Structure 1
Amino acid sequence: MDSLGRPFALIYSPPGGLHTLVIETEPDGAALVDDEQIDQWVGSWGWWLSHLAGEPGLVGASVTVETAPDTGGRLGREVAANISGDAPQFARQVLADTVENYPAGSSVVRAYLALTFVSSTKKADRVGRELASRLPELTGTLASTGAGVAAPLDAARLCEVIRTAYDPAVASLIDEARMAGDHVPLEFSDVGPTAAEASWDSYRHDDATSRTWVMTGAPHGLISARGLEKLLAPQRGIARKRVTLMFEPIDPGRAAGMVEQDIRTANQRATQRQQVAARDSLEMLQAATTAAEEAAGAALMNFAMLVTATTVGTGGAADADVAAAIDSASKAARIRLRPAYGAQDAAFAIGLPLGIIPARRAELTASIRSAL
């Protein structure tokens, strides 16, 4: 329980003594929002990420934005909880028709933030007490970023999220159980797939097939607030889609040297050409701006991206349509993606809000990876 009395789940990963807590949000969205408000959200999000770099023991964070068909369960529960007993029959019929027909073809968007901390102790209760006092500030400051209402996931809700990812068909069953007031008795050992098969470029789990892409190149040039809009939006033919951004705070001692090296690299690339290209000038400007912001106290982070698209069934002809849709969305965002060949099952799990940090499980040490 955090200091506000909210229960939260803590995932313990024995290799390295990692502990992960997950926060669920319901983003407000940018529709009908003024550009000034969006700028404030972006600035607040940058501040929130910078604040993470100063969190004691934090070694990684991920943001997972998931789009899925709306089963209508939430709307039904909301209407049932607020309808008046004295409401006219006509009003009741209108609400009933809305609950039945409105969710058809609509989607729900949820976002999950997984924060992973390293601790020398293996006692979960001790780590939990340390994080309980810090959770209210972490969730409270998210409101100014446009994330909407933010609350930590408890164990039952976390199990539902992971179970639904592996078997999308249970989403409607879980919503029906909630509408009936029943408790879904899920344990963490039950959330994996009943059966799974990983192939070279896809991953079949229960009655669904998923493909995961990883980012191989970040966008060049300036990134607008709506740069990822098409990639994050629901897409026809994709039952569930997850876009996961992973962040790794860089030690301030290393960050200063890295930004200076970026400046030298940009300058060297520009001087090697007889005529400086516009992209070279922009790269030099961005390197200088990053160095100035880092010197003023801004945090520096490594980041990565995974995109997972899930279709119900065994795939087949629909795979080409899904791949084309993801390729089009990534090009609109100017992000280079490629399928996670030979590692579809691992990439699927990394894209879930579980706090899995691939670098912490790699055989190469951090110093060797940085040299490469």
Structure 2
Amino acid sequence: MTAQCQLVESLGPDGRPFAVVAVPTAGRYTAALTCSLPDSPSVQAELADRWALRLAAEPDVAQATVSVEYAAGADRAVARIAISRAYGGGSGARRKAGPGAAGWFSSQLPLWARYLVSEGAGQVRAADPADLCVLARLAYDPSIAAFLAGGRAPVPEWTDVPPAAFREPWARFEHEGAASVTWSLSPEVTSGSLPEILAWCAARPAGASAGRVSVLAAPAPAGDEPSVRQGALVTLTGPADDEWAAQATESLAARPRIALRPAYGMQAGAFIAALPLGFGGTRLIRTPRVGK
């Protein structure tokens, strides 16, 4: 799906570049912010839950995704906050992409950054094209983390992001030399369940090389009371073999308080929806929650 999208560089009011991803299949543009987080899973959960609800309630926002990432080779979690806008400007529009999205994001990203700082985020900045290329490439191929960190590999281009080979069995998604399992949080996202999920991902169970917890929120259908719909996707990435995927699932079963369901039959779609790139995931969001 990444091969069907376009990555565009735009300039913010401070003259710094930021990236806009155009996703034709979802009919939307997406830009992202990146920030550091406190180490406490309970604080991370509270912030992710609150940020997703708040940003999804903003005018013209089609979806907000807050991803807490435990990337390969990283010692601390990083948050990526992706905000999507439909091509026509509203959550339900489906028109041909126009040039106004870059200007809209340029005006809104500084406001959202100030909001995140006021809520406890650290070192907030807009993600530029290189940030998103590295993020997506590492998601598909965690083995290159050490090469990128050591300067032994060039920063990938957007055309380098899609995996050279992939396969989607019923309960996992195999890509390059790795495999990922993605679960959806059911029945609803609550700050009470997210801390344990985040702690579980941070521990990288079953020898996982990377983990990601993404809270997604979108406006409720027109005609409903002012509210947003919210859900979450959780991804672990490890070796491309049956044994690892089984071990990851077993480690989750040992934690009965975590009510996650594997995204059976749609692992590739759930994997990409969990990335902060604006690929959708709306059909995985079902529970109405009142936006504040």
> How far apart, CA to CA, are the structure 1 residues paired with 2:272 and 2:194?
28
User: What letter matches 2:219 in structure 1?
Assistant: P
For residues 49 and 342 of structure 1, do their structure 2 counterparts lie closer, same or farther at Cα, with a shift above 3 Å needed? closer
Deviation of 1:18 after TM superposition, in Å, equals 0.7
For residues 65 and 190 of structure 1, do their structure 2 counterparts lie closer, same or farther at Cα, with a shift above 3 Å needed? same
| Higher gyration radius (CA) | 1
- Aligned residue pair count: 271
> How far apart, CA to CA, are the structure 2 residues paired with 1:244 and 1:344?
15
User: What letter matches 1:304 in structure 2?
Assistant: G
> How far apart, CA to CA, are the structure 1 residues paired with 2:138 and 2:58?
31
User: What letter matches 1:114 in structure 2?
Assistant: A
Q: Secondary structure, in 3 states, of the residue corresponding to 1:194?
A: coil
- Residue 272 of structure 2 corresponds to which residue in structure 1? 349
For residues 51 and 197 of structure 1, do their structure 2 counterparts lie closer, same or farther at Cα, with a shift above 3 Å needed? closer
2:122 alignment partner, one of 123, 145, 148: 148
User: What letter matches 1:309 in structure 2?
Assistant: L
8 Å CA contact 2:52, 2:215 repeated in 1: no
1:317 matched to 2:243: yes
1:235 matched to 2:204: yes
1:202 matched to 2:172: yes
> How far apart, CA to CA, are the structure 2 residues paired with 1:27 and 1:60?
22
1:339 alignment partner, one of 248, 262, 265: 262
1:24 alignment partner, one of 34, 43, 51: 34
For residues 171 and 227 of structure 1, do their structure 2 counterparts lie closer, same or farther at Cα, with a shift above 3 Å needed? closer
1:60 alignment partner, one of 40, 63, 79: 63
> How far apart, CA to CA, are the structure 2 residues paired with 1:44 and 1:198?
29
For residues 219 and 360 of structure 1, do their structure 2 counterparts lie closer, same or farther at Cα, with a shift above 3 Å needed? closer
Q: Secondary structure, in 3 states, of the residue corresponding to 1:108?
A: coil
Identity of aligned residues (%): 29
- Residue 14 of structure 2 corresponds to which residue in structure 1? 4
8 Å CA contact 2:179, 2:241 repeated in 1: yes
Deviation of 1:124 after TM superposition, in Å, equals 5.3
8 Å CA contact 2:56, 2:64 repeated in 1: no
> How far apart, CA to CA, are the structure 2 residues paired with 1:139 and 1:245?
18
Deviations 1:235-265 (A, max 9, x none): 241111111111012368512xxxxxxxxxx
Deviation of 1:147 after TM superposition, in Å, equals 2.5
> How far apart, CA to CA, are the structure 1 residues paired with 2:202 and 2:276?
19
Deviation of 1:349 after TM superposition, in Å, equals 1.0
Deviation of 1:45 after TM superposition, in Å, equals 6.8
- Residue 103 of structure 2 corresponds to which residue in structure 1? 129
User: What letter matches 1:356 in structure 2?
Assistant: F
8 Å CA contact 2:141, 2:177 repeated in 1: yes
Normalized per residue, which structure has more helix? 1
Where do 1:152-167 residues align within 5 Å?
A: 152-167=126-141
> How far apart, CA to CA, are the structure 1 residues paired with 2:189 and 2:24?
35
Deviation of 1:205 after TM superposition, in Å, equals 0.8
Give the CA RMSD over aligned residues: 3.3
> How far apart, CA to CA, are the structure 2 residues paired with 1:195 and 1:127?
33
> How far apart, CA to CA, are the structure 2 residues paired with 1:243 and 1:8?
23
> How far apart, CA to CA, are the structure 2 residues paired with 1:55 and 1:307?
25
2:229 alignment partner, one of 270, 290, 302: 302
> How far apart, CA to CA, are the structure 2 residues paired with 1:336 and 1:154?
35
For residues 124 and 168 of structure 1, do their structure 2 counterparts lie closer, same or farther at Cα, with a shift above 3 Å needed? farther
User: What letter matches 2:135 in structure 1?
Assistant: V
> How far apart, CA to CA, are the structure 1 residues paired with 2:47 and 2:101?
31
> How far apart, CA to CA, are the structure 2 residues paired with 1:132 and 1:5?
10
> How far apart, CA to CA, are the structure 1 residues paired with 2:281 and 2:163?
21
Deviation of 1:119 after TM superposition, in Å, equals 3.1
Q: Secondary structure, in 3 states, of the residue corresponding to 1:28?
A: coil
Normalized per residue, which structure has more strand? 2
8 Å CA contact 2:184, 2:232 repeated in 1: yes
Deviation of 1:50 after TM superposition, in Å, equals 5.4
8 Å CA contact 1:67, 1:234 repeated in 2: no
8 Å CA contact 1:4, 1:136 repeated in 2: no
> How far apart, CA to CA, are the structure 1 residues paired with 2:106 and 2:268?
33
